[in-house]
Amino acid sequence: MRLPKGLIVATMILVAVIVQTTLFGQLDLITPDLVMLVAILLALTRIRPELTLAVGFAAGLVVDLLSSSLTGLRAVVFTVVAYVALRTRERASIGRPAMAIWAGLTSFVGVALLVLIGTLFGQSNLLGPDVEARVIVVPLANTLIAGLIGPVFVRLIDGDRTAFRFS
């Protein structure tokens, strides 16, 4: 029996939020933004673009509600990141390394946008005291994780064993 895509996507977002807020919330050095990465990787699936944007917004809103930052800030940033991912997803189809680099660059756009909008709205402590290091570390960690789980994530969502196959 095949599970509905909506249930799989909701489970992925829930797992990403739980792992990000519990496990990676305790680590200081390596802190990937898993929820942003899920919004980015959803652009590679066969889900309609409007739903990808809606999932990015909802995922960002959940993270906003669980944090002490300005409500709606991450929701807007994750929606913009999902849009950028949708507009540039053909660049990820070359292979696994290209997909990982694409996800890392898109994550960099998201983190930079988060810092920029957060600073404009007086949320300078959004990424912690070492913002400069996190602007570099978060996209690198997302690049590594995307390279490891990206194709599996797409196959799981689409339910197609041949989807996004890399050697």
Task: Collect all residues with Cβ–Cβ distance below 8 Å to 85 and sequence separation of at least 6.
Answer: 39, 40, 42, 43, 44, 52, 106
- Fold held by 5-158: Arp2/3 complex 21 kDa subunit ARPC3 (1.10.1760)
In the chain, where are the structural domains located? 5-158
Which pLDDT score is estimated for 74?
A: 92
Q: Are 79 and 35 in contact (CB under 8 A)?
A: no
Q: What is the CA radius of gyration of the chain?
A: 15
* DSSP designation for 126: S
Which pLDDT score is estimated for 126?
A: 64
The three-class DSSP label of residue 3 is coil
Those residues of the chain that have pLDDT short of 50 are 166-167
The burial class, CB within 10 Å (0-12 / 13-18 / 19+), for 22 is: exposed
Q: Are 74 and 60 in contact (CB under 8 A)?
A: yes
